[in-house]
Amino acid sequence: MIKITQPWQKRLEASDKPAYLLLADLIAEDIRTGRLTARDKLPTLRDLAAELRLNYTTVARGYAEARKRGLIDSRAGTGTFIRGTSPAVPLRGGGGAEMTMNLPPEPQDAGLLDRMKESAARVMADTDVYDLLRYQDFGGTVRDREAGMQWIRPRIPDCRLDQMLVCPGIHSVLAALFSQLARPGELICVEALTYPGVKAIATQLGVQLHALPLDEEGPMGESFEHACKTLKPKALYVNPTINNPTTATISRARREALADIALRYAIPIIEDDAYGLLPRQMPPTLASMAPDLTYYITGFSKTLGAGLRNAYVRSPSARQSQRLAGALRATTVMASPITNALSTLWVEDGTADAMLQAIRTESNVRQAMAQKHLGAYGMAAPSESFHLWLPLSSAWSMVEFASYLRTQNVGVVASAAFSTDGNPPEAVRICLGGPMSRDDCDQALRLIADTLAHPLHPHATVM
């Protein structure tokens, strides 16, 4: 620090400004110019007083002023450090780094974007526009359903046309299935940390959720079997691949155990595989293990974009597919024929697969950034995920951490939003996709890392 403090001494000697204020100014100036960076350690009060030929109280007041300005952080036993100085991250519309919505990243591939635009124009040019503006039978045309089977074939090799429905988004399918399988007051088993939309659907329908505790392989089979024996659940809901929020994937052995229990007790399975096509290699689906019980659901929200409200459902049988179609028709009428036509063309001509590959590649890049900044803090995420799960140390509670980051224009989601057992861990979900650029993402991750490294008065942001 001698090289840093030598210019300070000259400035202090030449200035009439109160030394404690000038000391804070000098720290701020050196941070702006890059002479001091996040995590740089400053001298102790006594050492700095000796180097600058100031009294101890003046230096203490200078450090206090620098802390007041958010420039430094002092912690007993570790010393005084330069606080993280990543600026609030400017994004489109003047907002901050919105890392709360789990959107896929948007690859900036000019050729791919042109291809998507050309395909969209071709849909309108080659189709009777009025046909797309009319009511259609629920579940999509034969061509739409064939495209759906083509899309899910890597995960569901055996699927018949009469088992396939094209629906307006996964969320609508879940609402229809919950209402169809469970009456108000009845129970559905779910993971202890699960997709928040399921909690909202259950609340709306008056359906009870029974949380299954998680271990490193997924929902615990013993707990599911005990629930089947004693509570008579009406279904099992799982998000088995790159779980939202934990990013965990249920192991093959655990999938087999859950499928076996469901078969023995005749419990329908709702397999929400929204992220199932992102990894290149995954365990077999529950639908392949218990085909006569499982509703397999996937869509384009996490592989193309949430605005393309198309989902594919493979039902256990033609009869159950018809029943589900009736429940969905009552609430959603039909999926948009226009988006159906676009999705179908993108599957047929390979555009959807090209976009999936680009999202995988972009996710790899962003996860590498996350590993660089947050790997030391126990973050969990596979490389092809575009969200991560970050456990917190005792210095922060999840609410304090999320609240503080919000004051820095970075939004993350506390684990309580995903908890179904009332006992959420101290952790947050951080999303890396959406309209954020790579630079924006990197800056936000650096700010999060700085906050973890140097927690500054965490209680101050909680009212």
Per-residue pLDDT reduced to its tens digit, 221-251: 999 999 999 999 999 999 999 999 999 999 9
Please tell me the predicted confidence (pLDDT) of residue 3: 62
CA distances to 199, 234, 454 from 269, rounded to whole Å, are: 17, 9, 45
Please tell me the predicted confidence (pLDDT) of residue 65: 85
For residue 108 the two structure tokens come to 């900036």
3-state secondary structure of 304: coil
Please identify every stretch of the chain with a pLDDT value under 70, giving residue numbers as ranges: 1-4, 75-77, 84-96, 456-463
Indicate left, alpha or beta for 458 from its phi (over 0: left) and psi (-120 to 50: alpha). Answer: alpha
Cβ contact 72:80 at 8 Å = yes
Please tell me the predicted confidence (pLDDT) of residue 91: 42
Alpha helix (H) residue ranges in 297-428: 318-332, 337-348, 351-374, 398-407
Please tell me the predicted confidence (pLDDT) of residue 208: 95
**14: how many CB neighbours lie within 10 A of its CB?**
9
What distance in Å separates the CA atoms of residue 151 and residue 123, rounded to the nearest whole number?
A: 19
Tokens 């046309």 identify what position? 161
DSSP state letters, 65-121: HHHHTTSEEEETTTEEEEPP-PPP---GGG--EE-SS-PPB----HHHHHHHHHHHH
For residue 5 the two structure tokens come to 């403090």
What distance in Å separates the CA atoms of residue 120 and residue 61, rounded to the nearest whole number?
A: 64
Dump pLDDT digits (tens) for 304-332: 888 888 999 999 999 999 999 988 888 88
Alpha helix (H) residue ranges in 159-241: 170-181, 196-205, 221-230
